[in-house]
Amino acid sequence: MKRWLLLALALLANLGQGETLRVGIELHDYFPYYRAVAGSPPEGYCLDLLQAFAEHEGLTLELLPQPINRLYRNLLDEQSLDLLFPDNPAWARQAKAGRRLHYSDAAAQIVDGTLVLAERRGQGLARVRQLGTVRGFTAEAWQPLLAKGGVQLVETQDIQSLIRMVARGRLDALYANPQVVRYQLGELGLANDYLQLDQQLPLIYTSFHLSSYRHPELIRRFDRFLVEQDASVQRLKAHYGLR
């Protein structure tokens, strides 16, 4: 049977009991939210939440870690993924242009902000000329300033590289989630307050969602799961030190 026919049939069918749920996740270390790196099994709050949802629905979970730029291509064009997690309507607008994705309610509320060396906190925008972020991520809170050209955006493969660059003075600040940075500081043997969130610099409160292009019914089932299993979800967040 030709591939286009298989895809057409999939559009008409809901995933039922025992079927495989193919979920794209970022090939990246963003622990405690998620970690998917070569040589280690995926782990973290987001992945445990997906596993709990799959078990609740009687589905088999297949996690497919991929580079960020490939995830949307496989979700929208190749249609080799059922779901993407985490996602957000504000992310990757160009990759989603002209496509209507279905989004769940928020599975996690997070803050993305600007972190600097402890001794540089509170010195203001004028001290930030080079800002670092992970390649493929959008420094959403900085977009208006980046558009003006006064700040240079530097992208690296991972957060540990960003931390080292800030420590060596090659970056003035990095843009990421503070809890993720705090964990990576510990992995590098640095004090967890070596870099600190500067409330005077751009930050944004955002959220993680489950998204799908072809399965809105799965999104509705996930929303129902979040409500009905709220106590379990909160325990899972507490396990990872999340709110």
Q: Where exactly are the structural domains of the chain? A: 16-108+207-239, 111-205
Best CATH choice for the domain 111-205 from the list 1.25.10.10, 3.40.50.300, 3.80.30.20, 3.40.190.10: 3.40.190.10
Token couple for 159: 């957060």
Measured between alpha carbons, how far is residue 188 from residues 135, 182, 234 in Å?
20, 10, 29
Quick: pLDDT tens for 191-239: 999 999 999 999 999 999 999 999 999 999 999 999 999 999 999 999 9
Rounded Cα gap, residues 97 and 153, in angstroms: 24
Asked if domains 16-108+207-239 and 111-205 share a fold, the reply is yes
99-137: b or e for each residue (b if 16 or more CB lie within 10 Å)? eebbbbeebbebebbbbbbeebbeeebeebebbbbbebb
Quick: pLDDT tens for 110-149: 999 999 999 999 999 999 999 999 988 889 999 999 999 9
User: Could you give phi then psi for residue 190, rounded to 5 degrees?
Assistant: -105, 155
Q: What is the pTM of this model?
A: 0.84
CB atoms within 10 A of CB 60: 12
> Where does the pLDDT of residue 40 fall: very low under 50, low under 70, confident under 90, or very high at 90 and above?
confident
Token couple for 203: 């930050």
Contact 74, 66 (CB under 8 A): yes
What pLDDT does residue 14 have? 52
Token couple for 218: 């799965």
Amino acid at 239: H
Contact 132, 162 (CB under 8 A): yes
Rounded Cα gap, residues 82 and 215, in angstroms: 7
By DSSP bridging, strand 108-117 and strand 152-156 are: unpaired
Rounded Cα gap, residues 150 and 38, in angstroms: 37
SS3 84: strand
Best CATH choice for the domain 16-108+207-239 from the list 3.30.70.330, 3.40.30.10, 1.10.357.10, 3.40.190.10: 3.40.190.10
> Where does the pLDDT of residue 12 fall: very low under 50, low under 70, confident under 90, or very high at 90 and above?
very low
